[in-house]
C-alpha cells in the first residue's frame, strides 16, 4: 500500500508533527510506502524565532519579512497542491491533514482518480481565532466538502465529532498523542527554592495566557519565590511576576517541562477555543506536572478535577487553585503522579497501531478492529 500525505506544515508545526510525522515509523514497520508533501514552509516559526526584538529596526524588518513569508507560503502552497494532484495518481490512499484544499481537487482525486481519501483535523479549522464565534463561509464550505467526500475522517476528542457524523458517519477518533518516553528524564534537584509555573504553546495561543495576566500578577505579589516560565516562539511581558522566556525547541521542550512545577492551560470560551486540541495538558501530564486549566473546551476530557489538577472558571478560582498547589508540594507530587499514570493511555505506541489500522482499513474498505477502542482513553475521570 502507498499513502500520499498532504500536511498542514513541516514537523516544526505541532499539529503536523503530532497528527502525522510521529506515526511514520509505524508505517515503515508495517511496510507501508509513503510520501509527505507539506502545504506550508514553516518560515513563520523561524521568522518569530530570529526577529523577536522590539527595536524599531527589528520590528520593521519583521513586518517586511512577514509579508514576504506570506507571499512565499501562498506560492509554495499552490505548487504543493499541484504536486499533490499529479502524485495522487500513483498512490492508493490520500491523507489530507488539516488543509482545506479546493473542492475540485477532492472531486478530481476521489471521483476521477478513484483514490481513497482520509481527512484529518483536530481543531475547528473552519473558524479563525481572530473571529472565534462565527465560521468563515469559505472555510466552512470546504470543510463540509472534505468531510462529505472522505472515505474516512480522523479527528481528535472534540465536540465537532457529533457535527461531522451527521455529514459522514465514517469517523474515527484518534486522540492526539505523544511519546511519553521522551519525558522520562530525572528532574533536576534545584535548591533555589523557586516554584516554576509553566505555559507552553505557540504565539497564536498567547492570547489565552494573556487572559489570566492579572491573576499571575497577584500570584507574583503573594509569592516572591514564584515565577512564570513561558516556552514559546514569542513572549508576554507581565507585571509583578518574573517571566523566564525559553525559546521553544523540539529537543529541549520535554526537559524544560520536567524541570517546572505547575502547568497552566487557560483557554477561551468561544466556538473556536471549545474545539481546540489540548496537547499541552498531555505534555504537562507526561512531565508529571499538576495542571490548572480552564474548564472550557476539551480540557475537561483530559483531566480529572481534583485528581490530576484543577479545572477552573473564574479569576478567583485561578488564584485559589494555583495558590493551593504552590503551598502544597505533596499535593503537587501526588497529582503529577496521577497525571503521569493517565497519560500512558495517550502514548504513541498505543495509538500508532490504531493509526496504521485505520489506513489499512480505508485502503481495503473494511472495518478496523481497533477503531472503537478510543473510549477507554477518556474514561479515566468519568
pLDDT tens readout for residues 71-127: 888 999 999 999 999 999 999 999 999 999 999 999 999 999 999 999 999 988 887
Q: Which has the higher per-residue pLDDT, 276 or 338?
A: 338
Lowest mean pLDDT among 203-207, 234-238, 376-380: 376-380
Rounded CA separation 153/147 (Å): 7
The reported pLDDT for the residue numbered 190 is: 72
Rounded CA separation 213/236 (Å): 9
- The grid coordinates of residue 206 equal 498567547
Q: Which has the higher per-residue pLDDT, 156 or 34?
A: 34
The reported pLDDT for the residue numbered 130 is: 67
The reported pLDDT for the residue numbered 46 is: 62
Rounded CA separation 48/30 (Å): 38
User: Is 288 within 8 Å of 263 (Cβ atoms)?
Assistant: no
Rounded CA separation 111/329 (Å): 60
Whether the per-residue pLDDT at 368 is higher than 70: the answer is no
3-state helix, strand, coil in the chain (%, to 5): 50, 15, 35
Q: What are the residue ranges spanned by the domains of the chain?
A: 2-177+347-378, 181-345
Whether the per-residue pLDDT at 232 is higher than 70: the answer is yes
Q: Which has the higher per-residue pLDDT, 374 or 150?
A: 150
Lowest mean pLDDT among 87-91, 174-178, 251-255, 268-272: 268-272
The reported pLDDT for the residue numbered 374 is: 43
The reported pLDDT for the residue numbered 57 is: 44
The reported pLDDT for the residue numbered 380 is: 38
Cα dihedral 197, 202, 203, 208 sign: negative
Lowest mean pLDDT among 44-53, 230-239, 277-286: 44-53
User: Is 168 within 8 Å of 143 (Cβ atoms)?
Assistant: no
Whether the per-residue pLDDT at 131 is higher than 90: the answer is no
Give 162-220 pLDDT, tens digit per residue: 889 999 999 999 999 999 999 998 887 777 889 999 999 988 899 999 999 999 999 99
* pTM, 2 dp: 0.89
Q: Which among 163, 161, 162 is positioned nearest to 173, based on CA atoms?
A: 161
The reported pLDDT for the residue numbered 370 is: 47
Whether the per-residue pLDDT at 344 is higher than 70: the answer is yes
Whether the per-residue pLDDT at 132 is higher than 80: the answer is no
Rounded CA separation 112/115 (Å): 8
Q: Which among 335, 378, 45 is positioned nearest to 201, based on CA atoms?
A: 45
Q: Average model confidence (pLDDT) for the chain?
A: 89
Whether the per-residue pLDDT at 223 is higher than 80: the answer is yes
Q: How far is CA 185 from the centre of its chain?
A: 23
Whether the per-residue pLDDT at 362 is higher than 70: the answer is yes
Rounded CA separation 56/266 (Å): 31
Helix, strand or coil, per DSSP, at residue 37:
strand
State the DSSP code for 234.
S
Domain 2-177+347-378 belongs to what architecture?
3-Layer(aba) Sandwich (3.40)
Across residues 141-163, what is the average pLDDT?
92
Q: Which among 51, 50, 71 is positioned nearest to 60, based on CA atoms?
A: 51
Residue 70 pairs with which residues in a beta bridge?
Answer: none
Residue 196 pairs with which residues in a beta bridge?
Answer: 227
Reported as type and span, the H/E element at residue 209 is: helix 206-210
Task: Tell me whether domains 2-177+347-378 and 181-345 share a fold.
Answer: yes
State the DSSP code for 178.
B
Across residues 135-151, what is the average pLDDT?
92
Percent of the chain with pLDDT over 90: 69
Interstrand relation of 33-38 and 171-173 (parallel, antiparallel or unpaired): unpaired
Distance from the first to the final alpha carbon of the chain: 39
Across residues 278-306, what is the average pLDDT?
93
Superfamily assignment of 181-345 in CATH?
Glycogen Phosphorylase B; (3.40.50.2000)
Confidence of residue 63 (pLDDT cuts 50, 70, 90): low
The total of other beta-carbon atoms located within 10 Å of residue 32's CB is 18
Amino acid at each position: 500500500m502507498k499513502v500520499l500525505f498532504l500536511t498542514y506544515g513541516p514537523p516544526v508545526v505541532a499539529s503536523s508533527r503530532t497528527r502525522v510525522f510521529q506515526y511514520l515509523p509505524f508505517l515503515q514497520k508495517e511496510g507501508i510506502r509513503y510520501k509527505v508533501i507539506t502545504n506550508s514552509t514553516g518560515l513563520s516559526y523561524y521568522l518569530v524565532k530570529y526577529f523577536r526584538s522590539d527595536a524599531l529596526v527589528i520590528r520593521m524588518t519583521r513586518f517586511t519579512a512577514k509579508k514576504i513569508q506570506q507571499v512565499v507560503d501562498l506560492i509554495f502552497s499552490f505548487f504543493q497542491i499541484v504536486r499533490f494532484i499529479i502524485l495522487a495518481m500513483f498512490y492508493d490512499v490520500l491523507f489530507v491533514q488539516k488543509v482545506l484544499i479546493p473542492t475540485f481537487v477532492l472531486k478530481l482525486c476521489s471521483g476521477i482518480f478513484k483514490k481513497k481519501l482520509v481527512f484529518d483535523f483536530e481543531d475547528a479549522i473552519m473558524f479563525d481565532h481572530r473571529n472565534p464565534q462565527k465560521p468563515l463561509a469559505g472555510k466552512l464550505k470546504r470543510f463540509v466538502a472534505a468531510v462529505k467526500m472522505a472515505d474516512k475522517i480522523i479527528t481528535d476528542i472534540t465536540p465537532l465529532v457529533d457535527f461531522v457524523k451527521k455529514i459522514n458517519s465514517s469517523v474515527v477518533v484518534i486522540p492526539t498523542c505523544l511519546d511519553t518516553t521522551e519525558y522520562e528524564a530525572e528532574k533536576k534537584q534545584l535548591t533555589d527554592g523557586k516554584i516554576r509555573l509553566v505555559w507552553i504553546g505557540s504565539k497564536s495561543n498567547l492570547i489565552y495566557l494573556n487572559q489570566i495576566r492579572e491573576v499571575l500578577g497577584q500570584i507574583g505579589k503573594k509569592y516572591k519565590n514564584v515565577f512564570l516560565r513561558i516556552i514559546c516562539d514569542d513572549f508576554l511581558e507581565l507585571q509583578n511576576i518574573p517571566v523566564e522566556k525559553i525559546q521553544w525547541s523540539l529537543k529541549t521542550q520535554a526537559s524544560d517541562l520536567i524541570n517546572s512545577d505547575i502547568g497552566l492551560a487557560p483557554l477561551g470560551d468561544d466556538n473556536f477555543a471549545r474545539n481546540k486540541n489540548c496537547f499541552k495538558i498531555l505534555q504537562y501530564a507526561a512531565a508529571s506536572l499538576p495542571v490548572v486549566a480552564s474548564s472550557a473546551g476539551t480540557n475537561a476530557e483530559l483531566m480529572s478535577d481534583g485528581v490530576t489538577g484543577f479545572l477552573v472558571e473564574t479569576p478567583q478560582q485561578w488564584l485559589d487553585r494555583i495558590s493551593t498547589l504552590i503551598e502544597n508540594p505533596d499535593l503537587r507530587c501526588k497529582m503529577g503522579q496521577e497525571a503521569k499514570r493517565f497519560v500512558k493511555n495517550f502514548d504513541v505506541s498505543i495509538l500508532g497501531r490504531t493509526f496504521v489500522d485505520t489506513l489499512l482499513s480505508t485502503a481495503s474498505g473494511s472495518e478496523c478492529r481497533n477503531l472503537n477502542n478510543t473510549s477507554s482513553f477518556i474514561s479515566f475521570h468519568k
